[in-house]
Structure 1
């Protein structure tokens, strides 16, 4: 195996810390398998390459034409940053689908955390890759389960686990089976009149996770708090429409003086959809760094008849939204970075909320009560008070200092 320096890789712009690195032994095993196989680069697809370790090692070894899918935009940006630093190129990026997989004879996969995501990927490979395609999936042994083998066996005739090396293991799935006419995702569930849609990689699937439920339960108080502003916005819109004067535009959504709401880290879009359904005069933007979440949220908006009123974007912590532009941010931050429990991702979103809010604007946040997010909200946003608490979650209201 060529002497590629994995230690030169960075996670940036994702969270960086001494106990977090941009590669692991699984990446190295997958690269070695691909090089030993001799499959040409234009017949190789890479899925789940978090920070570009697999793609860049293969490019460094002179394997051109690889197709790559990364769910997280932070991973896509990290791959670009690492490639620029190392002076490497020669692959193309794709969403999960036929463009990524058509004609692929080898698919390299860093095993995802969720079985639903693995199911969607396995179905996609069996559906769109070459008839003799092999899926080589790898992960850290401590995170691997027999259930992953069972998921793969539903789409492949042969599933064989390899010997563990350096606490990582590969699973080789071959002989793709026939697939149903329709893909298994997105899935849909209805919760008190709200339809949620989810692709495999979306957190919690089409279920309503208990943190989101806690913030939804607090929304009547939130709506009452913002009622005067929402009433003014509605009156302004009626007057503007009657006078024939144009309003500002945000990617096709009428803005003007309307209340600006951002669902930051929107997941399947439950918070954005619920707010938009209750407040048709508000401009709502839902954003997430996960492509699976964004696809899910767009399906959610369409299923609830509000896709024309809610803008859903793939972005890292609202980086493409203007400073001091939001009256309200809705925030249910994650507390995991991949398989690691880490507060860094949540704190990045808290800092993003502070940047996005107008002076006097508010962020309503739900988080696991054992986390130190209230102190971070007070420091980065402004005065913070508890508005609700469940056995596991706390809902707070923070006002952006001037």
Structure 2
């Protein structure tokens, strides 16, 4: 189940973090399609020296193509961990991987400094905003001879996807579908004058007296989502010197609002998205420039000390990349219990139908409803 057979070799790949009875593979048919195409291109004489890989979810591409010494760019801390672990377990002899986040410049890490990229490989995600931002970021790296190769499952590739490539990079066409995956071929047109990158975007919230900026990967970057709005309307208040954690902070809005109702609190803002944490850091500094705040990119609360928090705010995601489920929420709840002080509180917002109260009561031994409406519920647990 976890063995990838590709023209570049056979590799044992795992998703991160490791979960018991995880039946999902660490790669998809789009990864296989890419690796087959690159092997055929090399067999026909193409040589790739400056290689950039974007959105490799678990390291299938980085591991198989490691001899090329690619620069690998991802916004996900979880993906970074998976890439490192899979590369180490399959190719420990390879040179250190150039693994960067989506706010860093790939040009600073390409093997041939100052030269354009020979090959750019981009895995398509669900987010058009993220794709638009990434295409703008890679355009300065391209020459007319750069091979730009994108891939994704057919259900993730739409006319709007291809339009972005055409508007920002150049003429674009797709391959035939194989195993429900498709390749996108794009020829760089250096004469194009695309519009400026619209990211990061400002999101003024005058009703809450806040000004927010969102990078491309941030959830609800264009408007305040209704779940967060409901949480803001029911934000608790206290003058006590609490340590508050915004778990899965996104753009930091919950923590920023809590800073207004907890004037003596210190804050830790945590997310697995580098762009989310960068947005939160900028937003917190803009709205509360004098407050003590720690920002950390990590998986749930990995690396956060036990028994350190008085209050944790949590709006858990229900998917990781393309995988939908409550496994992230459950891990967040477990990490929150470990991190809270005795007597500390966890506040969780979720859609009513998700049934978080069952899991929380089993874990904490208690769970009450702080507020609810027809769609959402805010749950409160206390660490005994």
User: Would you call these one fold, judging by a TM-score over 0.5?
Assistant: yes
Report SS of the residue matched to 2:56. Answer: coil
TM-score, normalised by the number of residues in structure 2: 0.88
Asked whether 1:4 is paired with 2:17, we answer no
TM-score, normalised by the number of residues in structure 1: 0.85
Query: After the TM superposition, which residues 308-323 of structure 1 pair with which residues of structure 2 at under 5 Å, given as runs?
Result: 309-323=292-306
Select 1:71's aligned residue among 70, 75, 83. 75
Call closer, same or farther: CA 1:93–1:180 in 2, change over 3 Å. Answer: same
The separation in 2 between residues aligned to 1:340 and 1:72, in whole angstroms, is 14
Query: After the TM superposition, which residues 117-136 of structure 1 pair with which residues of structure 2 at under 5 Å, given as runs?
Result: 117-130=130-143, 132-136=145-149
The separation in 1 between residues aligned to 2:107 and 2:38, in whole angstroms, is 16
Call closer, same or farther: CA 1:104–1:338 in 2, change over 3 Å. Answer: same
- The answer on whether the counterparts of 1:97 and 1:128 sit within 8 Å (CA) in structure 2 is no
Call closer, same or farther: CA 1:305–1:282 in 2, change over 3 Å. Answer: closer
Aligned to 1:49: 56
1:361-392: CA deviation from partner (whole Å, max 9, x where unpaired): 00110012111311111122341111112222
**RMSD of the alignment, in Å?**
2.1
Query: After the TM superposition, which residues 24-173 of structure 1 pair with which residues of structure 2 at under 5 Å, given as runs?
Result: 24-38=28-42, 40=47, 42-59=49-66, 63-88=67-92, 89-90=94-95, 91-96=97-102, 99-101=105-107, 103-130=116-143, 132-173=145-186
> Displacement of 1:286 after TM fit?
0.6
Report SS of the residue matched to 2:296. Answer: strand
> Displacement of 1:176 after TM fit?
4.1
The separation in 1 between residues aligned to 2:218 and 2:290, in whole angstroms, is 18
Report SS of the residue matched to 1:171. Answer: strand
The separation in 2 between residues aligned to 1:108 and 1:16, in whole angstroms, is 31
- The answer on whether the counterparts of 1:273 and 1:306 sit within 8 Å (CA) in structure 2 is no
- Corresponding pairs, count: 364
Report SS of the residue matched to 2:354. Answer: coil
Report SS of the residue matched to 1:157. Answer: coil
Aligned to 1:190: 204
Aligned to 1:249: none
Select 1:371's aligned residue among 334, 354, 358. 354
The separation in 2 between residues aligned to 1:98 and 1:70, in whole angstroms, is 10
Aligned to 2:112: none
Report SS of the residue matched to 1:302. Answer: helix
- The answer on whether the counterparts of 2:201 and 2:213 sit within 8 Å (CA) in structure 1 is yes
Aligned to 2:113: none
The separation in 1 between residues aligned to 2:178 and 2:87, in whole angstroms, is 27
Which runs of 5 or more residues in structure 1 are unaligned?
A: 234-257
| More divergent stretch after superposition (297-306 vs 74-83) | 297-306
> Displacement of 1:198 after TM fit?
1.2
Select 1:388's aligned residue among 368, 371, 375. 371
Report SS of the residue matched to 1:175. Answer: coil
Call closer, same or farther: CA 1:171–1:190 in 2, change over 3 Å. Answer: same
| More divergent stretch after superposition (297-306 vs 279-288) | 297-306
The separation in 2 between residues aligned to 1:392 and 1:381, in whole angstroms, is 24
1:175-198: CA deviation from partner (whole Å, max 9, x where unpaired): 245456953211011122222211
The separation in 2 between residues aligned to 1:175 and 1:73, in whole angstroms, is 30
The separation in 1 between residues aligned to 2:356 and 2:47, in whole angstroms, is 48
The separation in 1 between residues aligned to 2:104 and 2:308, in whole angstroms, is 38
The separation in 2 between residues aligned to 1:18 and 1:335, in whole angstroms, is 16
1:186-244: CA deviation from partner (whole Å, max 9, x where unpaired): 1011122222211111112142222211211111xx21xxx2xx2xx4xxxxxxxxxxx
The separation in 1 between residues aligned to 2:10 and 2:321, in whole angstroms, is 22
Asked whether 1:218 is paired with 2:234, we answer yes
Aligned to 1:254: none
- The answer on whether the counterparts of 1:272 and 1:310 sit within 8 Å (CA) in structure 2 is no
1:59-110: CA deviation from partner (whole Å, max 9, x where unpaired): 2xxx332100121111111112212222343331122256314621221111
- The answer on whether the counterparts of 1:56 and 1:83 sit within 8 Å (CA) in structure 2 is yes
- The answer on whether the counterparts of 1:14 and 1:78 sit within 8 Å (CA) in structure 2 is no
